[in-house]
Amino acid sequence: MIQIAPSILNADFLQLGNVIEMLNSSEADMIHLDIMDGNFVPNLSFGLPVIQQIKSVAKKDLDVHLMISNPDLYIEEYYKAGANSLTVHYETCPHLHRTIQRIKALGMKAAVCLNPHSPVNLLHEIIGDLDMVLIMTVNPGFGGQKFIEQSYEKIGKLKKMISDRALKTKIQIDGGVNLQNIRPLADAGVDVFVVGSTIFAAENPKEMISKLKNT
Ligand code: DX5
Ligand code: ZN
């Protein structure tokens, strides 16, 4: 079953209230919030105050993707701001097991994200504790980039790791998803699709969400 997590990174920030309202009444399964600090990634997006305001009107779970250095410093703050699921990058967490325990102790779903160069076997010791693994299918920092084709092989390796151990860990991907590649990617084992520009560049974003979900 394809799940869609629209990323508002490429939405019209001058219409953010209307965007959230549209997502509330759409077939979106959650709202993906790309948090960027201009340090871990070469872009700066938005932070805690914006999340708090989105939380006050959102009717879908907030899937918060921390593309920031030292995420350990902010876990409680993102929980208080309203995150239902929190994704940290493997590359930013020297004590990842402890980080995941802290996220789960607060009642949030815990996910780890791998940059394109990071192999899935890095997750061997932690995957059993994860609700979801996010594979970056573009280099993090910007929407509207080209899908990295060798992601299919990486998705297959992750799917095998999960099924070999009969885990319930979900596979999420982020970047370059469109109407042409979403079905092959779902067949390769992806459960949750972060989609930004394909939705927000569409004539009718709400209709695009339904098309993506029902492909
Ligand atoms: C990259 C961002 C983007 C965004 C989706 O750091 O995480 O991947 O969510 O971008 P699109 O769907 O426009 O590639
Ligand atoms: Zn993201």
CA distances from 34 to 9, 30, 105, 148 (A): 6, 13, 23, 19
Q: Residue 179's pLDDT band (boundaries 50, 70, 90)?
A: very high
Residues 101, 106: Cα–Cα separation, whole Å: 9
Query: What is the token pair recorded at 30?
Result: 């959650």
Q: Quickly list H helices, 58-134.
A: 75-81, 96-105
Residues with a beta carbon under 5 angstroms from ion ligand 2: 34, 65, 174
Tell me the residue type at 42. Answer: P
Asked if 40 and 69 count as a contact pair (C-beta separation under 8 A), the reply is yes
Q: What is the pLDDT of residues 70-102, one digit of tens each?
A: 999 999 999 999 999 999 999 999 999 999 999
- Give the neighbor-by-neighbor strand order of the sheet with 170-174: 3-6, 192-195, 170-174, 132-136, 109-114, 85-89, 62-67, 31-36
C-alpha angle 165-104-86 in degrees, rounded to nearest 5: 95
Which domain covers residue 93, as residue numbers?
Answer: 3-213
Residues 81, 56: Cα–Cα separation, whole Å: 10
Question: Number of folded domains in the chain?
Answer: 1
pLDDT in the model for residue 206: 98
Mean pLDDT of the chain: 98
**Is 174 a catalytic site residue?**
yes
pLDDT in the model for residue 159: 98
Atom number in ligand 1 closest to CA 7: 9
Q: What is the pLDDT of residues 103-128, one digit of tens each?
A: 999 999 999 999 999 999 999 999 99
| Nearest CA, atom 4, ligand 1 | 143
pLDDT in the model for residue 195: 98
pLDDT above 90 coverage of the chain, percent = 100
Rounded to the nearest whole angstrom, what is the distance from the C-alpha of residue 133 to the centroid of ligand 1? 16
CATH number of the domain encompassing residue 114 = 3.20.20.70
Rounded to the nearest whole angstrom, what is the distance from the C-alpha of residue 37 to the centroid of ligand 1? 15
| Nearest CA, atom 9, ligand 1 | 7
